[in-house]
Chain A
């Protein structure tokens, strides 16, 4: 930044505050970085004022297209190679070796509700109304840069319109808006425009890899070699967990982080897993094709490399195959039927942790019978409120309507972790269960003498407290709570805590059935099957909805979604909802979701998060289905018509 002139903006009627954020001498690293902040009486006035600000820049060299690693120069930061076993010997022993180059583009979180917040000062106190995945963690992020005690900051949020891992922080626009609100002496509302939302409010890094993989003739995997690169903006991008799920015996992995002048990447549902899943399973699918093996047989043969969940994967693969009618639909690579429409099937599988985060629940049973569950958590639209009401309701033998859920406020409610990494449901449900059990024990103690039953012999069912198995000795819920007199029961439940209520570690399998028009390269989804393990399911409808949502997102990023940068301008060209393409209802095909309840010990595992796992496999399943349909690998996700036609052209299979 050479100079900043804000004088004309300051004079515009309706402008209440103008603040230079990056003054002369600052270095701007990417388009849409915060340079000057303006607060005005309405959005149009603020926009007009921004256009009156004159900033002079000196243009510095920039690099924005990381797929071209050969052009990266000093922006490429190679890491030390990682070796497991003896890869050279592994490849010598391999009887079939395939190699290829695969990639998956940068996508953005594209939250329908953009990032932003309303900020209001009252003397030395600040109230923040953010769009966030992190209610309890928000105050501390404002306190430090604003040099004020976190205890003076209140956070309020009832609903959030999408986060996907991009809404944990206060963000630069949040902090600067707090300064502007103070300067303006008025509340300030700041929400990103769509273009900034798509460019600086979160991206999922791309990943690229040259992969060589070797197997014995019987399909047993023996060696892996990968040279990968990725960019997450200024910080480069780490190596995805490849080879994914299958721990191939002999490996050599070389990774290069590429620094780019773009808005920083943020956690995107199952960070690094979708990329790792695609890179690995595309290469392995190519190997299975070379071996002339059905991928289902190939993977079942190699599941010994999948560790503790090998048998779960085997049974999930068979279940998915049954739901997909895989045996009927699968054919060797290249649909041999005549005509321009080619059909194929493909599969992917994935894993995730999903252990519940730290959480604290304050539960109140009032003498009038009302029950309040309070946590400083948030509902991202996935059913957190529903799940909390069910856990407390079932513990007390009450319908969900009888439970009042209070979330979305801090510090009013006890702290709960940020909603990321599929950690929420395990954290909040176990904290609530513990608080509810404790409260119920206290209630039992109060009513036991009157019923002439030991407290330990009471149960809460059907809106009553009764002697176990003896409804004759009972009190209606409200009669029971009336015994509390004037003092409510207040309990606190925490996670982690006593007893095994939650677990970590799941596996899932997905299969896609697609039709490809080989004259246009357009891929249509016919059917998409997901088989997903997540331990004890609290609410099946919202659990299935999580999987449906992930599959829709998966179709979007597999077929159409990607950020397009202009190399010269260093700017994105499609940070809008017109050319940043997302699927509509007519583009997704038929979905089948099978929640894994097929093991008797499944419920005993306890609750495991579900936000990430089902979004991992779509590219592998859909990309492999396309290869099965057209007989050639389309190496880059998303599978746009251009890339499908290019792959067909290379094969010499193009017709018109």
Chain B
């Protein structure tokens, strides 16, 4: 790990002033569950690390008529412990529960979950963001791509977005609040993530000198929501596919739906055609049909066709879970 300057500001204004306008020069430290491993692996070698844990404004969960406001420093464990979140945002609580490591839930934060870097093993192994061979070959397309994208994968990015909470927040129509030198700006959770096309870009619209300070989840108003992860292990393991859904129900019929897949594309994947197809009487058969619609444009790579099936199952089961009692 390269030596670096360490700053521990106590206000958001101080924190922003300590951040560089260039990616890579400074890094924001919250739970550290991702940043420390990136630094140990020399994938990030910042000149300055800005610890934001001392900024009280970014802490805590507050509920009001406008919904729930999650400070970006709220840990996954705090989310799971919050009765309001459990009662009103089942999809979010279930997503946090999918992180099956007590240690990571204790340290990992909402902001960190959204901003963590891809788990692509070429990237993490130091072979690059868009790894290429000496002759320009696309190493992922021809290589070990079982865990890579099945949607939105026309290249050069093949990694999957690793966030556990993002699909749930998008399904719940949340917004992300970013603080910068010009003050706050709001971005819909769905608009927060982007697919990078050049080395050095990041996977979100946040600028290097902005901080993700809050997430606002609108009032649930009786929405039924759920998250289902297909994970090989009960112990800590990345999902092979995940789905978060939120449904506005009228009795046993779906009036409106937001369906989002996780771990299948470089960004959390909203399934708008499937959302329309789900409107109508709810049943397991219908959920299965809708899941097929959601994945019809999937283009698996050489080794990951099975994950199209897994994504269908995740979505079908999330829909069934929501209609059968999700909050």
Complex contact A569–B121 (CB within 8 A): no
Complex contact A519–B313 (CB within 8 A): yes
Complex contact A573–B121 (CB within 8 A): yes
Complex contact B232–A641 (CB within 8 A): yes
* Contact A568 B143, CB 8 Å, known A519-B313, A560-B232, A583-B233: yes
Complex contact A587–B137 (CB within 8 A): no
Complex contact A656–B306 (CB within 8 A): no
Bound form: Cα–Cα A654–B240 in Å: 18
Bound form: Cα–Cα A556–B2 in Å: 36
User: Which residue on chain B has the smallest CB distance to residue A59?
Assistant: B134
Complex contact B230–A520 (CB within 8 A): yes
* Contact A566 B309, CB 8 Å, known A48-B2, A522-B232, A641-B232: no
Complex contact B234–A569 (CB within 8 A): no
B144 / chain A contacts, CB cutoff of 8 Å:
564-566, 573
Nearest-CB distance from B210 to chain A (Å)? 29
B234 / chain A contacts, CB cutoff of 8 Å:
584, 586-587
> Does A530 reach chain B (CB closer than 8 Å)?
no
Interface residues of A in 534-561 (CB under 8 A from B): 559-560
Complex contact A642–B146 (CB within 8 A): yes
> Does A51 reach chain B (CB closer than 8 Å)?
yes
Nearest-CB distance from A9 to chain B (Å)? 15
Complex contact A568–B139 (CB within 8 A): yes
**Of A132-140, A574-582, A619-627, which stretch is located at the interface?**
A574-582
Bound form: Cα–Cα A521–B236 in Å: 18
Nearest-CB distance from B255 to chain A (Å)? 26
* Contact A656 B235, CB 8 Å, known A520-B230, A573-B144: no
User: Which residue on chain A has the smallest CB distance to residue B1?
Assistant: A44
User: Which residue on chain B has the smallest CB distance to residue A578?
Assistant: B119
Complex contact A654–B309 (CB within 8 A): yes
B231 / chain A contacts, CB cutoff of 8 Å:
522
User: Which residue on chain B has the smallest CB distance to residue A340?
Assistant: B313
Bound form: Cα–Cα A520–B238 in Å: 15
Complex contact B235–A587 (CB within 8 A): yes
Complex contact B125–A573 (CB within 8 A): yes
A59 / chain B contacts, CB cutoff of 8 Å:
134
Q: Choose among A44, A568, A573, A656 the residue that contacts B288 (Cβ–Cβ < 8 A).
A: A656
Hey, what's the 0/1 contact readout for A584-602 against B, CB within 8 Å counting as 1? 1111000000000000000
Complex contact A566–B312 (CB within 8 A): no
Hey, what's the 0/1 contact readout for B47-63 against A, CB within 8 Å counting as 1? 00000000000000000
Bound form: Cα–Cα A522–B307 in Å: 12
Complex contact B232–A640 (CB within 8 A): yes
User: Which residue on chain B has the smallest CB distance to residue A564?
Assistant: B144
Nearest-CB distance from B168 to chain A (Å)? 20
Interface residues of B in 217-252 (CB under 8 A from A): 230-238, 240
Complex contact A579–B133 (CB within 8 A): no
> Does A571 reach chain B (CB closer than 8 Å)?
yes
* Contact A645 B309, CB 8 Å, known A568-B133, A568-B142: yes
User: Which residue on chain B has the smallest CB distance to residue A559?
Assistant: B232
Bound form: Cα–Cα A584–B134 in Å: 40
Complex contact A656–B143 (CB within 8 A): no
Hey, what's the 0/1 contact readout for B117-137 against A, CB within 8 Å counting as 1? 001011011010000011001
Nearest-CB distance from A122 to chain B (Å)? 33
Complex contact B306–A641 (CB within 8 A): yes
B127 / chain A contacts, CB cutoff of 8 Å:
569
> Does A47 reach chain B (CB closer than 8 Å)?
yes
Complex contact B143–A566 (CB within 8 A): yes
Hey, what's the 0/1 contact readout for B146-180 against A, CB within 8 Å counting as 1? 11000000000000000000000000000000000
> Does A567 reach chain B (CB closer than 8 Å)?
yes
Complex contact A520–B313 (CB within 8 A): yes
* Contact A571 B125, CB 8 Å, known A44-B1, A584-B236, A642-B146: yes
Nearest-CB distance from B287 to chain A (Å)? 11
A571 / chain B contacts, CB cutoff of 8 Å:
125
> Does B42 reach chain A (CB closer than 8 Å)?
yes
Nearest-CB distance from B57 to chain A (Å)? 33
Nearest-CB distance from A42 to chain B (Å)? 11
Most interface-central of B2, B121, B122, B238 (chain A CB within 10 A): B121
* Contact A581 B232, CB 8 Å, known A573-B122, A656-B316: yes
> Does B100 reach chain A (CB closer than 8 Å)?
yes
A20 / chain B contacts, CB cutoff of 8 Å:
none
Complex contact A567–B143 (CB within 8 A): yes
Interface residues of A in 608-656 (CB under 8 A from B): 640-642, 645-646, 654, 656
Nearest-CB distance from B27 to chain A (Å)? 17
Nearest-CB distance from A342 to chain B (Å)? 15
Sort A-B residue pairs by CB-CB distance and give the 4 closest, nearest first. Answer: A584-B235, A586-B234, A573-B121, A642-B306
18 contacts between A and B (CB under 8 A): A48-B2, A559-B232, A560-B233, A569-B143, A571-B125, A573-B125, A578-B124, A579-B147, A581-B232, A582-B235, A584-B234, A584-B236, A586-B100, A641-B232, A646-B306, A656-B291, A656-B292, A656-B312
Binding site for A on B (CB under 8 A): 1-3, 42, 100, 119, 121-122, 124-125, 127, 133-134, 137, 139, 142-144, 146-147, 230-238, 240, 288, 291-292, 303, 306, 309-310, 312-313, 316
